[in-house]
Structure 1
């Protein structure tokens, strides 16, 4: 059992570093996606109501939703949380 714990230490260190780096990158990407979401929504609403282009307006709103904090960033946040839980489980295995 001690051999498995010794073998698990490098994976725990790598996962801890990966979670830290990915959390930082996620915070930057979340800000960028928020700005893009606002721009897509404004352009889509402009196309929908001013130009009367219904197809582009709806597509733009769908894209705006996907890059909003409720779309792809929410999925990335969920995956990052699962990775952090995996790191915690591995840390518990090693120390417990």
Structure 2
């Protein structure tokens, strides 16, 4: 019975492993690009704040935070970590 379970779970572990690898690569590339965009938006937000449009400056600052490495990329990294935790939990439970 345990052998059948190991055989059935093996493809799920392989799929989760490949999914995490692909998502990690995409996250690495997108974090670099979004980091550059966050820098540009941050500079733009400071310029908008200096012109006196405080509301628009705050909106651009929030957008800069979301695309910075501490915003959306960090949430994606957390989600990838949870998927990897799920893979390890399944693997530990089935394979001992």
Superposed displacement of residue 93, structure 1: 2.7
Q: Which residue pairs with 2:72 in the alignment? A: 72
Q: Which runs of 5+ in 1 are unaligned?
A: none
1:24 aligns with 2:43: no
Q: Which residue pairs with 1:11 in the alignment? A: 12
Structure 2: distance between partners of 1:5 and 1:73: 34
1:69 aligned counterpart, secondary structure: coil
Q: Which runs of 5+ in 2 are unaligned?
A: none
Q: Which moved more, 1:66-75 or 1:85-94?
A: 85-94
Number of residues of Structure 1 aligned to a counterpart in Structure 2: 95
TM-score (norm 1): 0.91
TM-score (norm 2): 0.91
- 1:34-87 Cα offsets, whole Å, 9 max, x none, are 1111011111111110x2211211100011111112111111111111111111
Q: Which residue pairs with 1:46 in the alignment? A: 47
Structure 2: distance between partners of 1:76 and 1:24: 12
2:31 aligned counterpart, secondary structure: helix
Structure 2: distance between partners of 1:41 and 1:84: 33
